[in-house]
Amino acid sequence: MDYSDQVEFLGIDGSWVDVTGSTHLFGTGEQIANTIRNRVQKELGITVSAGVSFNKIFAKLGSDMKNPNTATVITKENFKDITWPLPASELFGVGRATQATLLRYRIKTIGAIAMVEPAMLKRWFGSRGLLLHSHANGIDYSGVRSVDDSEPLVKSVGNSTTCPRDLENEEDARVVFQHLAESVSERMRELGLCAKTLQISLRTSDLLWRELQTDLDLYDFFKSHGTDVVNDAADFTGANGCYLYKVRDVPANKNHSLKDSILVLAPHDGIVSSETWLACRKKLMNNTAFSPARKAKNTWLAGKIKCAKCGTSLAVRIFQGVAYLHCRRRMDSKSCEGCGTLKLSGVENTIHKAMCRKVVDYQTLTRSNSSKATPKLTALKVSLAQVEAEIDDLLKTLKGANAMLLSYANKMIEELDGRKQLLCKQIADMSTETIAPKQIERISVYLDNWSDVSYDDKRIVLDGLITSVKAANVRFDIDWKI
């Protein structure tokens, strides 16, 4: 404030200073910025970065670039060279949600924002879109407010607590709430503040996974399990954390069901990667799928092998000391013609041999490329790349297009985007289903010593390799996972 009375606070660690009227006293903007930087360094011992420019947007951008030894100067002549290559998120006003939408249209840099048709930005973001376009092109006429009409430095006062036990009734809640409210109002009185908005946050004991990173894989996972996902798929960029709320009064045995849950993106970063979490989650679900109470003891094929005619799981029946597999529906009601006489030991042998062959094939196939890709997965990824290239090409034609072409292109992009989402989902499904080459090696050891392998381990091997087997007489149609 020794250099200008036009100072506007920007959060707790930054300010805009308009020095237009001070240059005859203290030198150019750059000189003033460096004088201030040196003074702060000398008097407070902290380094600060500064940006000097012809408008507020680029001044902020310049200071964010954090040049250690000098102020960043962005002029009308050089702003394109400096700012346009920067990521779109660096532009003031581009938050996470905006960035996610921009990325969806392959707009990655500030320069790209500057070059998009303003009408498109308006369609996506309303009048804010036009503002982004102006800012990216160096147009910003907003002035720096003087000290007197700036916002106060402290913008919010809050307090929160985690209770050692669940709050079970209103009286419980009132005691805790009263305590928090008193501490907040005391601090507000100290600061001489009064409030414009009151916000109350409540965390329930059902709240889980708030540090989980939310990307499209995760979106697909919850969607496919019937969870009510509040946010748009486009917002699942992998940056934010999330909240999962469980609807109350769900029967206790539904511990693992996600159907009665609501997923909401959190306004903070996630820590656990979705890949790690999905792997754990899948393990958990497998555990319940094979809970001891429901485990069929007769064969490790139980549940996986189905009648080719009607699709119901085959059941084991012992006849004169020999185990056979039968179509359940045929046994119950004769409504299916059945799948013939299948001797259990023979079927188990056949499936075991098929798995051995498959694993050998797989190992020869993947030896050349060491990634965990399977041919199926590779094909999907190729399709995805093609769709993405088509979208890119379309976007290239958009610049300078007339209204009719624009609306046509938009429709095409939406359709391609739908295909892209579908492919992403399939890839995500396969990636979580697919097992790594290392696991295949372990599985191959198990297969070689099959007679010594426990019932449970046989089931795990089977589940790792096969989705289902359809049996018809002696023909087995196997749906492989690899």
- Which residues contact Zn ion (rule: CB under 5 A)? 307, 309-310, 327, 329, 336
Rounded Cα–Cα distance for residues 217 and 426 (Å): 10
Rounded Cα–Cα distance for residues 96 and 99 (Å): 5
Q: Which amino acid is at 232?
A: D
At its nearest, how many Å lie between Zn ion and the CB of residue 335? 8
* DSSP character string of 368-431: SS-SS--HHHHHHHHHHHHHHHHHHHHHHHHTT--HHHHHHHHHHHHHHHHHHHHHHHHHHHHH
- Judged by beta carbon, residue 424 or residue 478, the one nearer Zn ion is 478
- SS3 of residue 229 by DSSP: strand
Token pair for 188: 């507000």
- Judged by beta carbon, residue 310 or residue 354, the one nearer Zn ion is 310
At its nearest, how many Å lie between Zn ion and the CB of residue 475? 14
At its nearest, how many Å lie between Zn ion and the CB of residue 341? 13
- Judged by beta carbon, residue 264 or residue 336, the one nearer Zn ion is 336
Instruction: Kindly provide the b/e burial profile for residues 27-39, where b requires at least 16 CB atoms within 10 angstroms of the residue's own CB.
Output: eebeebbbebbee
* DSSP character string of 323-345: EEEEEHHHHHHS-S-----EEHH
At its nearest, how many Å lie between Zn ion and the CB of residue 123? 54
Neighbouring CB atoms inside 10 A of 109's CB total 19
- Judged by beta carbon, residue 32 or residue 301, the one nearer Zn ion is 301
- Judged by beta carbon, residue 73 or residue 339, the one nearer Zn ion is 339
Closest to 351 in 3D by CA, of 439, 482, 477: 477
At its nearest, how many Å lie between Zn ion and the CB of residue 338? 5
Q: Do 126 and 91 meet the contact criterion of CB atoms below 8 Å apart?
A: no
Residue carrying structure tokens 């010593």: 449
Token pair for 142: 């907003």
Rg (CA), the chain: 31
At its nearest, how many Å lie between Zn ion and the CB of residue 214? 42
Q: Extract the runs of DSSP E, i.e. beta strands, from 67-142.
A: 72-74
Q: Which amino acid is at 178?
A: Q
- Judged by beta carbon, residue 213 or residue 299, the one nearer Zn ion is 299
Q: Do 10 and 57 meet the contact criterion of CB atoms below 8 Å apart?
A: no
At its nearest, how many Å lie between Zn ion and the CB of residue 480? 22
At its nearest, how many Å lie between Zn ion and the CB of residue 302? 16
- SS3 of residue 70 by DSSP: coil
| Strand-pair partners of 9 | 15
At its nearest, how many Å lie between Zn ion and the CB of residue 226? 29
Would you give the distance in Å from CA 129 to the centre of its chain? 24
Rounded Cα–Cα distance for residues 276 and 31 (Å): 51
- Judged by beta carbon, residue 131 or residue 305, the one nearer Zn ion is 305
Q: Which amino acid is at 96?
A: R
Rounded Cα–Cα distance for residues 50 and 38 (Å): 11
At its nearest, how many Å lie between Zn ion and the CB of residue 309? 4
- Judged by beta carbon, residue 47 or residue 473, the one nearer Zn ion is 473
By DSSP bridging, strand 261-269 and strand 240-246 are: antiparallel
- Judged by beta carbon, residue 241 or residue 338, the one nearer Zn ion is 338
At its nearest, how many Å lie between Zn ion and the CB of residue 306? 8
Neighbouring CB atoms inside 10 A of 233's CB total 16
Token pair for 391: 């979208």
- Judged by beta carbon, residue 239 or residue 336, the one nearer Zn ion is 336
- Judged by beta carbon, residue 33 or residue 342, the one nearer Zn ion is 342
